[in-house]
Amino acid sequence: MRRSLLVFLALATACNGEPDLAPTTTAAEVSTTTTVEDTTSTTEAVTTTEAPTTTTLQPLQSLAYEEIARIDFPIQMVPFMGDLEMVATKAGRIYLLEEQQRLRENPILDISDQVRNQGEQGLLSIAVFEDPSRVFVHYSASDGDTVVSEFTWDGSALVDEHVWLRLDQPARNHNGGMLQFGPDGDLYLGLGDGGGSGDRFGNGQNQDTLLGGLVRIDVHDETAEPQLFQYGLRNPWRFWIDQVGDPMIYIADVGQNSFEEVSVAPFQADINYGWPITEGLHCFRPSSGCDTAGLTLPVIEVAHGDAGTCSITGGMVYRGLEIPEINGHFFYSDYCGGYLRSFRYEDGEVVDGTDWTEQVGVPGQVASFGVDTWGEMYLLTTDRILRVVPVRG
């Protein structure tokens, strides 16, 4: 094996009774569990990585968390190049994580002076293009606008910002968050309904706006306009495009007063997830009823109060090598509840639903998930990066 086995916020929570984020610290962000290094050397781009050698595995007894680093509000971790990963923080900085699981001390990007890091706003997601010299960032600008921009890796830092999308936000919450590349090579962005409560601005079912939907950005053509791909979402803080077999998209959409939800759908345009007609599997305004014809309803709903649930944190489909027993499971958590749960989606049905919380414990406020070069899974809390590891024997 390459390695030994070792918000958010209210981030996206309901508008009524949303917990506030912990205040942003002004001290140095990074405190790793091992010695840190300065990023002064040049890294050569590597386009392919040889998979680690596998051996016969002992039976899986449980899962566990292994702390990798302590850092103020990590928001995403993604593979970069070779044995390096990128770790982004909500304050507006990006660091490199090395194979030895060490965070380099100096960020390779620091845009904290142009990011509004308040409440649900901040640097919200990053994505690396197939050519790793192109890195995409989603953040809240100082005026609150949603910005998706591209930076170029020059061998030691990310430089030369190019803005692909700038969108006015009518409120400070429901900014969405996630960036991920799809099987078509385009970039996908999750955006909330514009904020407030009850879809105040009427964006959930409005196909003339990018708000409340998944947005497709053709980063191969600078003249192409961003397009609405799917809609009917309240605040898709995190989604995941699984490209094994027929591509499927898993969306963890943050609910309002009663239910959080996970939807699973084919990777195709014009799917309507129902907000604000529905919240979870229920009519959002039950007294008046609702017509769910043509809607793609969630495959999982989690009621508020279930293990402290307040704001769902999705999630990723595990496709790593170290824990083949959970291959194909979609994992999710909750910002308040901090549990770890998973399921597989097979032939249109949820199967193998599992709650791992008793094994792994509650690590704190879970803001996001991360993945490394080998597909191994990480949880990101408001102050730590944790690797999910198998316990065997």
Residues 141-181: pLDDT tens digits? 999 999 999 999 999 999 999 999 999 999 999 999 999 99
> Do the beta carbons of residue 156 and residue 43 sit within 8 Å?
yes
The reported pLDDT for the residue numbered 99 is 79
Whether cis (ω within 30° of 0) applies to the bond prior to 204 is: no
The reported pLDDT for the residue numbered 246 is 96
The reported pLDDT for the residue numbered 2 is 42
Domain 30-36+54-392 CATH class label:
mainly beta
Question: Measured between alpha carbons, how far is 100 from 348 in angstroms, rounded to an integer?
Answer: 40
Give pLDDT < 70 ranges for the chain.
1-55
368-7-22-25 Cα dihedral, nearest 10 degrees? 70
The reported pLDDT for the residue numbered 126 is 98
The reported pLDDT for the residue numbered 21 is 35
The reported pLDDT for the residue numbered 323 is 98
User: Exposed, middle or buried, 344 (CB in 10 Å: 0-12/13-18/19+)?
Assistant: middle
Strand partners, 238: 252
The reported pLDDT for the residue numbered 40 is 37
The reported pLDDT for the residue numbered 56 is 87
Question: Measured between alpha carbons, how far is 314 from 342 in angstroms, rounded to an integer?
Answer: 10
The reported pLDDT for the residue numbered 55 is 66
